[in-house]
Amino acid sequence: MSTDRQGRIRSWTLDPSRPRYRPPAGAVDAHCHVFGPAARFPFSPKAKYHPEDAGPEMLFALRDRLGFSRNVIVQASCHGTDNAATLDAIAKSGGLARGVAVVDPGIGDEELDGLHAGGIRGIRFNFLKRLVDDAPKDRFLDVARRIARLGWHVVVYFEADILAELRPFLEALPVPVVIDHMGRPDVTQGPDGADMRALRALLDSRQDIWVKTSCPDRLSPHGEPYDDFVAAVRPLVEAYSDRVLWGTDWPHPTMEHRIPDDGRLVDVIPRIAVNGALQRKLLIDNPMRLYWPGLI
Ligand code: 0GY
C-alpha cells in the first residue's frame, strides 16, 4: 500500500496500460471521482478514508489516455456534503464533465439551483456502512421529491445483501434511479444466481431504473481477466441495453490493497457489450440521455 508523508493513501496506478479496446468517439466515463486537492478542498471530518490528491488534471489526462470524451464525476464520500471539489472539476472540464452531488437532505432549493448551474444532474444516496454514518431513508425521499423539478435522478449505492430491505424505498423514489456497480452482486454466482435475479426483478419493476455495469475489480474475487464478472454481466447488458452505463471508478476509492489497471478495465467493455451497437448504447447514448439530454 502506498501512502504519502501525511499518511494519505493512493488507490490508483500511476502507469495504467493502454487499453487494446478503443471506445467510440464521444464515449462517457459515467462513474469517476476527484479527491481534492485537499489543500483547497479539505476532506470531511466524517471521511472514512484520506486519499492522496487526485484532481481534475489527472482525471482528464486519464480520460484522454483511455480514449474517452466525457466524465460524470460522482461526489466521493471523503468529501462529505461539500461538493466544491466536484464542482471545481466540472468547471475545469470545458463542458465535458457533469456531476452527481451528495447533499444534506435539508438543502434549500436555491442551493440546488446553484448545483444545477454548476453541472450537477443527480444526487447520491450511499448505504455502505463502512463509508457513511447514516442513511436516513425518509429524509432521502423528501429531497428526492424536491429534485424532480430539475429533471435530476438519484444514484444509489448499496450492497446486494440489503437489496430486499431497500426495495420499498427504491420503488417509492419519485425520480429515475441509477444503481452503482449493479448493487454489488456476487458475480461468482453467475448470470442466473440469486443476486443477479434480484437485480433483474428490480429492473423489471420500473422502466426508469438504470444500472452501472462497472467495477470488475471490486466485484471479481478472482481478478483479471475478470471472467466471472463478464459471465454474469454480459447477459444483463444485452437484456437492458437501453439502461446500462459504464465507468472506470477512477481513482478507485478504498482499493489500495488491489489497485486495478485502468487499461485492463477498459478491455472488459467489449466482452460485456459484444458489438458496436451495444457499445454505443453503453458508452454514448445512455449516459448522454441522462447527463447531456438533447445533445445527441
Ligand atoms: C465507489 C466505491 C466506493 C467508494 C465511494 O464515495 C465513496 O467513497 O463511492 C467504495 O469504497 O466501495 O464507487 O467509488
How far, in Å, CA of 166 to CA of 117, rounded? 31
- Measured by CA distance, the residue closest to atom 3 of ligand 1 is 253
Query: Residue for cell digits 454474469?
Result: 232
CA–centroid distance, 227 to ligand 1, in Å, is 23
3-state secondary structure of 263: helix
Q: What is the DSSP string of 25-55?
A: TT-EEEEE--B--TTTSPPPTT-S--BPPB-
Confirm or reject: Cβ of 254 under 6 Å from ligand 1: yes
> How far, in Å, is the centroid of ligand 1 from the Cα of 76?
6
Distance 154 CA to ligand 1 centre (A): 16
Average pLDDT over residues 226-250: 98
Ligand 1 atom 9: residue of nearest CA: 76
* Any atom of ligand 1 within 6 Å of the Cβ of 11: no
Q: Is 180 in the pocket of ligand 1 (CB under 6 A)?
A: yes
CA 245 vs. chain centroid, Å, equals 9
253 Cβ closer than 6 Å to some ligand 1 atom: yes
Q: Model confidence over 260-276: pLDDT tens digits?
A: 999 999 999 999 999 99
Sheet holding 153-157, edge to edge: 28-32, 70-74, 97-101, 120-126, 153-157, 177-179, 209-212, 244-245
CA 57 to ligand 1 center in whole angstroms: 20
283-294 pLDDT per residue, tens: 999 999 999 998
Task: Give the start-end residues of each E strand in 69-218.
Answer: 70-74, 97-101, 120-126, 153-157, 177-179, 209-212
The CA distance from 32 to 75, in Å, is 9
pLDDT tens, 110-134? 999 999 999 999 999 999 999 999 9
Residue 249 annotated in active site? yes
Please, which pLDDT band fits residue 296 given cuts at 50, 70 and 90?
confident
Quick check: 252 and 260 in contact, CB under 8 A? Answer: yes
- pLDDT number for residue 105: 97
Determine the residue of 128, 129, 249 to mutate for testing ligand 1's pocket, defined as the one with the most ligand atoms within 8 A of the Cβ atom: 128
Task: Indicate the DSSP class of residue 16.
Answer: P
Compute the mean pLDDT over every residue in the chain, rounded to the nearest whole number.
Answer: 97
Question: Does residue 183's CB lie within 6 angstroms of at least one atom of ligand 1?
Answer: no
Catalytic residue (one of 249, 262, 267, 285): 249
Domains observed in the chain:
102-291 (3.20.20.140)
Cα three-residue angle 256-262-268, rounded to 5 degrees: 120
Please, which pLDDT band fits residue 81 given cuts at 50, 70 and 90?
very high
Taking alpha carbons only, the member of 56, 87, 80, 68 closest to residue 30 is: 68
Answer whether 283's CB lies under 8 Å from 28's CB: yes
Calculate helix-pair angle for 56-66, 84-92, nearest 10 degrees. Answer: 50
Ligand 1 neighbourhood includes 122 CB (under 6 angstroms): no
Question: Judging by beta carbons within 10 Å of its beta carbon (0-12, 13-18, 19+), is residue 242 exposed, middle or buried?
Answer: exposed
